[in-house]
Structure 1
Amino acid sequence: MDEIRSANPHLAEYLDADVSLWSRVHFQGDMYNLKTSNIAESINFALKRAKGFPIQFLLEFIREKLGRWYWKRRGDALSLITQHRRGNENLLAVREEIAYTLRVQQIDGWKFFVKGCNRECNVDLELQKCDCDVYQVEKISCSHAIAAGTAAGLHISTLVWPVYSKDTLFAGYSENIYPCVGQQVEARTCFPPEVKRGPGRQMKSRWQSWLELFRMRGRTPRKQHIVYRCSVCKEAGHKRPQCKN
């Protein structure tokens, strides 16, 4: 924060409101390497096509979409042939290659001193901690913890928290979402809320920021401006009704 404050005081004042909201290291809970702070925008985009439907059709649209999501992710979890998810297995493979270059000195049955990789760290396999703080934040074993676990004769899968296992992933989508068939809806007159609606057609999507517009323009070629020429004098910049010749 001191470096940010020296570079841009206004930005530091904005970020210093609550560091735990934007910094994963200072977050009080566990984020498990998932971006959950912008879930409202994702849901709004997924329901964009059904926002103009009546409430009954909107609820049915949400139920059908959630049912497809659950079924697809449940099938993906069953198709895994590894102990953990694909992204976690790839990350562990990269860190395992780095762990082969480290030197390990055993202190006791659970504590190790790991040298190499431009840093020396103390690793506690019992408390699942490392001085690099990667193990505590990500809940996935870092290269130092993998080197210490290999020296202790432990398998890499035992050094990762169970939340990343395929069993936990399947359990998260194990429930079924059934359609509402045969349920009676209570007949009641519902009046609209006493809110004054603004003029014009209601927006279905939000205003995009300059960064989103910049990225969008970078992906698609920009439309070139058409240069008009006069049909009389053949000069550019005007048409025949505005021609002075």
Structure 2
Amino acid sequence: MRSLDAMNLQVGAYLYEVRFERWSKTHFSGHRYNIMTTNIVESVNALIGHARGLPITMLVKFIRDECLNFVNLWIEEKISRRLSKSARLKVRPITPTRYQVVGFGGYIDIMDFNEMSCTCRKFQLSCISCKYAIAIARHMRLTNVNA
């Protein structure tokens, strides 16, 4: 915030005025799933943007088919990338609900399913499975690693 204030006092003052929880994921008490807008119309437009030119019956079918999925395509792609990144991670159980995940160079992250937290913080901030949660799901032989 100091850097922002140094660049533009008006912007910093505005962000203080609207409160941190309105624009910062780390201060928001709910789950935004990596989405920074609260406008549902923007979210729907993002989902159906490329299908908006279809005839209405095809558009409705597209929306119905898209909404049957547990997660949307954007999240599926993000999870798919994280699935690839998790392939060579080593999982070590600490307790039945707490795991240590070791990556390249011995870098260690801790995933705690009781607290629904990971030391990488991606899991808490986006509520989308991080590569460490995915590695643990693979270790546990779970078939669904969606958010």
CA contact (8 A) 2:91 2:101 kept: yes
Deviation at 1:103, TM superposition (A): 2.2
- In structure 2, C-alpha distance between the alignment counterparts of 1:39 and 1:78, rounded to whole Å: 19
| 2:97 alignment partner AA | W
Aligned to 1:233: none
Q: Which ranges in structure 1 are unaligned for 5 or more consecutive residues?
A: 43-67, 161-245
Structure 1 position 19 matched with structure 2 position 20: yes
Compared CA separation, residues 9 and 124, structure 1 to 2 (3 A): same
Q: Deviations over 1:20-41 (max 9, x none)?
A: 111122112222333434568x
The structure where strand makes up a greater share of residues is 2
- In structure 2, C-alpha distance between the alignment counterparts of 1:148 and 1:122, rounded to whole Å: 10
Please give the secondary structure, in 2, of the residue aligned with 1:121.
Answer: strand
CA contact (8 A) 2:101 2:111 kept: yes
| 1:115 alignment partner AA | V
Structure 1 position 148 matched with structure 2 position 147: no
Compared CA separation, residues 27 and 144, structure 1 to 2 (3 A): same
Structure 1 position 76 matched with structure 2 position 79: no
Deviation at 1:99, TM superposition (A): 0.5
Higher relative contact order (CA 8 A, sep 6+): 2
Aligned to 1:93: 80
Deviation at 1:141, TM superposition (A): 0.3
Instruction: Give RMSD over aligned pairs.
Output: 3.2
Compared CA separation, residues 23 and 83, structure 1 to 2 (3 A): closer
CA contact (8 A) 1:125 1:149 kept: no
Compared CA separation, residues 113 and 34, structure 1 to 2 (3 A): same
- In structure 2, C-alpha distance between the alignment counterparts of 1:139 and 1:36, rounded to whole Å: 16
Compared CA separation, residues 107 and 80, structure 1 to 2 (3 A): same
- In structure 2, C-alpha distance between the alignment counterparts of 1:38 and 1:89, rounded to whole Å: 22
Aligned to 1:8: 7
Query: Highest CA radius of gyration, 1 or 2?
Result: 1
TM-score after normalising by structure 2? 0.68
Q: Which ranges in structure 2 are unaligned for 5 or more consecutive residues?
A: 43-55
TM-score after normalising by structure 1? 0.44
Aligned to 1:36: 37
Deviation at 1:145, TM superposition (A): 0.9
Percent of aligned pairs with the same residue? Answer: 24
Aligned to 2:102: 115
CA contact (8 A) 1:124 1:130 kept: yes
CA contact (8 A) 2:25 2:32 kept: yes
CA contact (8 A) 2:66 2:72 kept: no
Aligned residues: 131
- In structure 2, C-alpha distance between the alignment counterparts of 1:124 and 1:144, rounded to whole Å: 11
Compared CA separation, residues 29 and 73, structure 1 to 2 (3 A): farther
Structure 1 position 125 matched with structure 2 position 99: no
Compared CA separation, residues 35 and 115, structure 1 to 2 (3 A): same
- In structure 1, C-alpha distance between the alignment counterparts of 2:87 and 2:65, rounded to whole Å: 32
Please give the secondary structure, in 2, of the residue aligned with 1:101.
Answer: coil
Q: List aligned pairs for 1:166-177, cutoff 5 A.
A: none
